[in-house]
Structure 1
């Protein structure tokens, strides 16, 4: 009898489904054409846009917004670069007016060096934005208590980091990230920040995470579009492996070849 995996395995956030479990950032690409090619290669479920960065770079006149419209991928504005609650909330409202969407990736940064999120500020900002009708995807660490507080504030999904933004280190605290997944089994969790190569993405997907958000790992690759496609394949492979049910890890070797019919002098290792 053949067992098949579920055919409808779409990422669902706030009751909406997305065709891909890859979310792709739009900053630091060598050119708009490189960004466009990367979107085509990754076929992401959403693309993130840092409102402050794009306005500062003249996105209204350099063709960036026209490019986003041509691709037709759902937009996820973010509050990157915000260091206070009021700043993040104001930026979110500006993004809603400009992009005509209630989706927001919330970032309230608490440390310049690690770009670690501000725990207290993120929770307060999330609470205010949820009350204002936003669908908030909060950037956070693997801290379980912080995650629970964000859920209490009304968030329906979390975006924990794998490592500090832009480092490419992969998951620096596997235990903490896996505990977060195990303790919040019904909450959509998207690993955001710190992934560097497709194997990092495949790994977290094998652990049961619901998606990954990528930016620097793609935009700073030698060939961004090729890396975008590689990440998409890594995410697909990791998700398929999770659904397939990986074997249990063992400490000792277990022969895959049966000893029935083997000469007796080989069955005990030749002793």
Structure 2
């Protein structure tokens, strides 16, 4: 039993490294759509995540549900991931990213240069603009940001962003908040195979089984917001997502059996009674 525990601990003790910073959790969560700040705090604690996204523009404008958000969490324990949600152009996203970096400094994270880059002109499906995202990423990398771009599951764009110096790529599983699960599995698999930076599956995950599926595919991390925040019991769902992403990661590390078109007996056929 001691050997088994040691093997499991070794498998689970594989840190996520983004832009040289090490994290023990591979689950990121958001701060939007919760019914109350207390529910948000309980959910973040239950998820055991270390990275939490904050919509800079909505905090700056004190949008409904974001009043006092910056002071609602203990930023000495949680790494802030400012995001450029609500930006429709590259120029807007660049300006908001700069505000996000200053906001992180004001909250005590002096060395935080992370930004989740979102450039979304599409109001109906909230699909990211690939050209604007690449333009903004190139400029922000020049300014010293660790850029985590939210993108369609486009393997060519993912490689271009990696070559531009992005810290991760974040392909969507399906549209934001849709709960449709992993609809782009084939393309995400190609992105994972070709990337030398972390691949974070972001958007569309609705259930723990879908979270596990993404990790089993080899994703380095997940970002989940709506599926937790809008669940009937948000803290319980946060805990379920934590367990699911761990199970998926362990399954990926363990190496699944190959898929076959025919049956394979579980019991050996040698030494059986034949008469």
Partner SS state of residue 73, structure 2: helix
Distance 1:45 1:241 in 2: 22
Instruction: Report the Cα offset of residue 58 of structure 1.
Output: 5.8
Q: How big is the shift at 1:98? A: 1.5
**Aligned residue for 2:208?**
198
TM-score (norm 1): 0.92
In structure 2, stretches of 5+ residues that fail to align are 106-111
1:158 partnered with 2:169: yes
- Say whether residues 1:147 and 2:158 are aligned partners: yes
2:266 aligned partner: 256
Separation in structure 1 between the aligned mates of residue 264 and residue 73 of structure 2, nearest angstrom? 52
Assess if the C-alpha contact under 8 Å between 1:59 and 1:65 holds in 2: no
Once the two structures are TM-superposed, the CA of residue 41 in structure 1 deviates from its matched residue by 0.2
Q: Distance in 1 between the 2:63 and 2:137 partners?
A: 28
Q: Within 5 A, what are the aligned runs for 1:1-271?
A: 4=7, 5-6=10-11, 8-57=13-62, 62-69=67-74, 72-100=77-105, 101-184=112-195, 186-264=196-274
Q: How many pairs are equivalent?
A: 264
TM-score in terms of structure 2 length: 0.90
Larger radius of gyration: 1
Q: Provide Cα deviations, 1:183-209, integer angstroms capped at 9, x if missing partner.
A: 22x221000101000111101111111
Is the Cα contact below 8 Å between 2:130 and 2:157 reproduced in 1? yes
* Secondary structure, counterpart of 2:72 in structure 1: helix
Moved over 6 A (4+): none
Structure 2: how far apart are the matches of 1:89 and 1:62? Answer: 23
Superposed CA RMSD: 2.0
